[in-house]
Structure 1
Amino acid sequence: MKGGGDMNGLDGKQIGVAADRSADPLSNLIQKKGGSPVVYSIQGKQSLNEQTSHQNIKDFLAETFEWAIFTTGIGAKTLADSSVELGFYSSFIEKLNDTNLAIRGKKTLNWCKNNAVQVSMVSEDGTMENLLKTFSDKQMDGIRQRVFLQAYNQDDAKLKDQLEKLGCSVYLSRPYSYQAPIPQVLNDLKKAVIEQSLDAVVFTSKTQVKNLLANHPDTQKIVQAFNEQVLAVAVGKVTANELKRNGILNVLQPDNPKMGPMVVALDRYYQQVNN
């Protein structure tokens, strides 16, 4: 009889990796635990919208905003980089510190700390849902707030709409976007999930989940495969919520939303299942 500590939980397991930039370190972590990573990068290439970002900085400095909302660390950094290119960095940071700033996510918070930017509101669980709820609770009746919203091409229209329903006037800043993933790679992952040739798939962003489960004739088969045999693994709450929202019932996620703890949680899961 083998004890749980004598063997890795991922021995003999085929683990799909949906990530792009973090695919290599993630694959190494899986291999160290005895698993066989199979990379399907379905994130879609990130595109920086330089002209848009430059215009966003000029408008932010020229107009009056009661609030700024930063949804991603990449977005905050891209805007800051544009302010440097335009020679407006100090003005940008000064204006941010004179504006109520609401943020989501650890990477955004780290950017604020590194740039000496004061934050008025932080999403408690890292989700936009929580941030919007907190923001809604702070809204003053009858006062129309002008909001500078940094978002990207997924969910930006929905976020803008939700803020407008709260009575805000919204300026949408979209300093970067994601292109569609390579169709062949996406189809290969869909096929592997439906055929259940993978034991699990690890997702490191909501974008990957959206790309896999976008309206498609096979979406229901993919969801069914996850609910029957293939384990869906999410790096954190935002990604896990997107999986659940699409009908995937059993989602594994670590307590600490990072890649290392995610692979450890996956290893432990299979050790328990195997014993």
Structure 2
Amino acid sequence: MNGLDGKQIGVAADRSAEPLSNLIHKKGGNPVVYSIQGKQTLNEQTSCQNIKDYLSETFDWTIFTTGIGAKALADSSVEAGLYPAFIEKLNETNLAIRGKKTLNWCKNNAVQVSMVSEDGTMENLLRTFADEQIAGKRPRVFLQAYNQDDAKLKDELEKIGCSVYLSQPYFYEAPIPQILNELKKAVIEQSLDAVVFTSKTQVKNLLADYPDTQKIIQAFNKQVLAVAVGKVTANELKRNGILNVLQPDHPKMGPMVVALDRYYQQVNN
């Protein structure tokens, strides 16, 4: 018997909602999709200007926080006929990256990486910056971020002594209010057994600026299981006071559903 038999599993993902739902269904669960990621939108003019500034100014370090951001900048460089110059500049500059998708982009584009977050989090990358006393040199940093991370990351880098150029090649729009409210209601009423999250953006959207946020957190801590695809998403859940967070050993959707299935098998036994 599958552990997910008869379980109502909320899916907060957007682009991966269908394959994730299929995985849940194969394990006997009933996936209920609430796509609260928000539409990802490319800032074309901003991205193009970021490339021009990157090539014309001097930077000691480049930081890519997401593979999406690296690709967006590269695409803009192609459109402007500046891709070779962009790749050359990247290889002339110390490059720090956060996640596996970003590392894959670098490998596919023959870009050398100087520093990689050991656990895939920006917190680890920032600690490494501080530990190596990079701040003492007051480096000029080109930081690729997006609208839900930019101010915090820029501030953290400046606190350790960096001079920061903020690149925002894309942003996430707010999720559809009706869908967001439906998920909030389902969690508070505990009509779901679990909710699976594939990004911290989904967590932020669920818990941001809402009078019943504490009720949502309490529901997760009592009955509804919060499931995170990886450490970054899990950390965002925990940072907001959600104590019981399930995450797989490998940060992928398949292992996440397997971990969820095994969790309920153990609970049921």
TM-score by length of 2: 0.99
Question: What is the distance in 2 between the residues matched to 1:209 and 1:91?
Answer: 38
- Aligned with residue 41 of structure 1, among 24, 35, 41: 35
Give the number of equivalent residue pairs. Answer: 269
Matched, 1:272 2:266: yes
- SS in structure 1 opposite 2:137? coil
Q: Give the partner amino acid of 1:60.
A: Y
- Aligned with residue 217 of structure 1, among 187, 211, 215: 211
1:27 corresponds in structure 2 to: 21
TM-score by length of 1: 0.97
- Aligned with residue 174 of structure 2, among 161, 180, 183: 180
Deviations 1:5-63 (A, max 9, x none): xx000000000000000000000000000000000000000000000000000000000
Q: Give the partner amino acid of 1:54.
A: C
- SS in structure 1 opposite 2:5? coil
1:192 corresponds in structure 2 to: 186
- Aligned with residue 164 of structure 1, among 132, 152, 158: 158
Q: Give the partner amino acid of 2:128.
A: T
CA 1:65–1:231 in 2, change beyond 3 Å: closer, same or farther? same
2:112 corresponds in structure 1 to: 118
Superposed displacement of residue 250, structure 1? 0.3
- Aligned with residue 122 of structure 2, among 122, 128, 131: 128
Where do residues 130-149 of structure 1 align in structure 2 (5 Å cutoff)?
130-140=124-134, 142-149=136-143
- SS in structure 2 opposite 1:172? strand
- SS in structure 1 opposite 2:174? coil
Question: What is the distance in 2 between the residues matched to 1:209 and 1:230?
Answer: 14
CA 1:36–1:158 in 2, change beyond 3 Å: closer, same or farther? same
- Aligned with residue 57 of structure 2, among 56, 63, 66: 63
Q: Give the partner amino acid of 1:86.
A: A
1:257 corresponds in structure 2 to: 251
What RMSD over aligned residues (CA atoms) do the two structures have, in Å? Answer: 0.7
Superposed displacement of residue 135, structure 1? 1.1
- Aligned with residue 235 of structure 2, among 226, 230, 241: 241
Structure 2: segments with no counterpart, 5+ residues: none
- Aligned with residue 91 of structure 2, among 97, 103, 113: 97
- SS in structure 2 opposite 1:225? helix
- Structure 1 segments, 4+ long, off by >3 Å, are none
